[in-house]
Amino acid sequence: MPIEAKLSAKKPARTDLLAYIITKEELDRPPSEFEANYLESHDFKGEEGQILFAQHNNYSLVLIGIGEESFVSAEKLRQAGVKLLRGIKNFKSITVDIGSCSYANEQKGQAVQAFLEGAFLGEYEFNLLKSKPEKPVKRTINILGSGANLKKAISRAESISFGVNTARDFVNLPGGDLTPVVFARKASVLAKENGMSVKVLDGLAIKKAKMGGILGVNRGSTQQPRFVQLTYKPQKSSTKHIVLVGKGVTFDAGGLSIKTAVGMSTMKCDMGGAAAVLGSMLATAQIAPNVKVTGLIPLTDNMLGGDATRPGDVLRIKNGKTVEVLNTDAEGRLILADALSVASDMKADAIIDLATLTGACMVALGSQYAGLMGTDETLIESLKQAGKQTGERVWHLPLPDEYRSQLDSNIADVKNIGSNWAGALTAGLFLKEFVSEEVPWAHLDIAGPAFADAPWGEHPKGGTGFGVRLLVDLIENF
Ligand code: BES
Ligand code: ZN
Ligand code: ZN
């Protein structure tokens, strides 16, 4: 990582850069280095997102406003981190005073973690494919403070940002580069480096395991499919087990129900769920909470080769249920069906799947909210809570029994599409068919937030790594 963060007990030497995060209220007693009339003459009011530079007694100073004290939150501090690092590009070392508002005082660890996440994530650039990438400059952030709690906050921010930025890299790699085989290989290396165990099924093994959903979607492709299983086991034997499932369509052309050129142009992002599962497990393995976590990642692309699945074909999913495929572009649910069947047999305490599943969810919620559906109120509540803490916004949508009959098929157990309306919900209802009723299950449709058409918050254009922070927070508090 080009930025290193550490704790610093005292203010820096005078030639260094010193940054203050400050609320509107704190301006009544501004840092001693600032002269009150300087702030006034520059119209600095501590509004959220305001930033001011000053030179005083050889100090280079920066003030970053975060608005009113009573509204300070992890998310505001995260955005302050983004603002600071983007606002000042050319420094080698900076010391940051996280502030003395009540949030920063009472939850200093969380405040530092959020601020650093913003700094690390806001800095990200994807330049693996540039012929002459800019050399990253090594920079240091010194956080004013001390203690084991703050040390932990720093390393947690580092692990989470590593997970998110890895997921972003995976999403940003083109479909022609990151094939299922390459995804599986890269994921295995990273997982093993971080102490996880890995099992990879190749095409033959997937056939033997009777994963008819993956095989059906893969039929139109010259690329081999893969099924990756990652396991994080805590040192102490844990009584809890979470299974994560991620949609890994490395490119979605739509199959014979082909997409439009515009619709297809960002479809390298269709493995965003798989990337989030990998990224969150990498971060989890580093943070080492006392919960067992399994990641299941079905991988294929969705192409239109001569033997591609035809609309009307019937597939047999791993759990024995048959599916009439009436639209080959509704492929994510087919590969998830196999993975959810495997997950259901694991008798876990929770199953959570993440998928860039439907354009309908994007229409409903836009690019900053994931659709959240599921069968267990407690799990839904925990995910909502994790969303609040991490800034990864989720919105609870229903799984209405009234719409289930839309999936009835004349010739198979179910069909893979519903009517024209409520596409996110009928997709959720389809997935529910493949989850054991005994296991709490939640589904996150991340079609909107997985890929940014324009920069927002801490995200540049492209892969966002959405879901990593949400899952890590959920796992840690499970
Ligand atoms: N991968 C797409 C969903 C998607 C759309 C993700 C936009 C990200 C951005 C998915 O496989 C798909 O094509 N879904 C269809 C389902 C339909 C045929 C029932 C859709 O949403 O149009
Ligand atoms: Zn599709
Ligand atoms: Zn898709």
pLDDT over 70, % of the chain: 99
Q: Which of 78, 333, 432, 469 is catalytic?
A: 333
Residue pLDDT, tens place only, 315-345: 999 999 999 999 999 999 999 999 999 999 9
pLDDT over 90, % of the chain: 86
What would the mean pLDDT of 445-463 be, rounded to a whole number? 97
The pLDDT assigned to 198 comes to 98
What would the mean pLDDT of 255-282 be, rounded to a whole number? 98
Which of 266, 271, 357 for a ligand 1 pocket mutation test, highest count of atoms within 8 Å of Cβ?
A: 357
Closest residue to atom 17 of ligand 1, CA basis: 330
The pLDDT assigned to 55 comes to 80
Q: Which of 185, 210, 259, 321 is catalytic?
A: 259
Question: What letters, b where the CB count within 10 A reaches 16 and e where it falls short, cover 20-57?
Answer: bbbbbebbeebbebbeeeebeeeebebebebbbebeee
Length of the chain in residues, anyone?
A: 478
Calculate how far, in angstroms, residue 329's C-alpha sits from the geometric centre of ligand 1.
Answer: 7
Ligand nearest to the Cα of 262, by number = 1
Closest residue to atom 8 of ligand 1, CA basis: 447
> Residue 363 in contact with residue 422, Cβ under 8 Å?
no
Whether 108 is catalytic: no
Residue pLDDT, tens place only, 271-304: 999 999 999 999 999 999 999 999 999 999 999 9
Residue pLDDT, tens place only, 175-228: 999 999 999 999 999 999 999 999 999 999 999 999 999 999 999 999 999 999
> Residue 371 in contact with residue 399, Cβ under 8 Å?
no
The pLDDT assigned to 212 comes to 99
Res. 57: pLDDT tops 80: no
Tokens 């979607």, residue located: 217
Give Cα 214 to chain centroid, integer Å: 23
Res. 1: pLDDT tops 70: no
Q: Cα separations (Å) of 186 from 30, 231, 312, 397?
A: 50, 16, 35, 34
Phi, psi for residue 412 in degrees, rounded to 5:
-130, -175
Q: Please list every protein residue whose CB sits less than 6 Å from any atom of ligand 1.
A: 252, 270, 327, 329-332, 356-360, 362, 417, 423, 447
Residue pLDDT, tens place only, 98-155: 988 889 889 999 999 999 999 999 999 999 999 999 888 889 999 999 999 999 999 9
Res. 266: pLDDT tops 90: yes
Of ligand 1's listed atoms, the one at least distance from the Cα of 269 is: 8
Q: Cα separations (Å) of 467 from 79, 120, 329, 473?
A: 18, 17, 23, 10
> Residue 247 in contact with residue 353, Cβ under 8 Å?
yes
Closest residue to atom 13 of ligand 1, CA basis: 329
What pTM did the predictor assign?
0.97
Residue with the larger pLDDT of the pair 55 and 205: 205
Calculate how far, in angstroms, residue 205's C-alpha sits from the geometric centre of ligand 2.
Answer: 24
**Out of 23-32, 251-260, 425-434, least confident range:** 23-32
Which of 269, 329, 368 for a ligand 1 pocket mutation test, highest count of atoms within 8 Å of Cβ?
A: 329
**Out of 32-36, 92-96, 387-391, least confident range:** 32-36
Whether 185 is catalytic: no
How high does pLDDT run on average in the chain? 95
Structure tokens at 466: 């959405």
Calculate how far, in angstroms, residue 179's C-alpha sits from the geometric centre of ligand 1.
Answer: 19
Alpha helices in 253-299 (DSSP H): 261-264, 272-287
The pLDDT assigned to 456 comes to 95
Residue pLDDT, tens place only, 361-382: 999 999 999 999 999 999 999 9
Q: What is the dihedral of CA 121, 127, 128, 130, to 10 degrees?
A: 180
Which of 358, 414, 443 for a ligand 1 pocket mutation test, highest count of atoms within 8 Å of Cβ?
A: 358
Give the model's confidence band at 43: pLDDT under 50 very low, under 70 low, under 90 confident, else very high.
Answer: confident
The pLDDT assigned to 12 comes to 75
Calculate how far, in angstroms, residue 330's C-alpha sits from the geometric centre of ligand 3.
Answer: 7
Q: What is the dihedral of CA 64, 65, 66, 68, to 10 degrees?
A: 160
CA neighbor of 318 nearest in space, from 277, 292, 346:
346
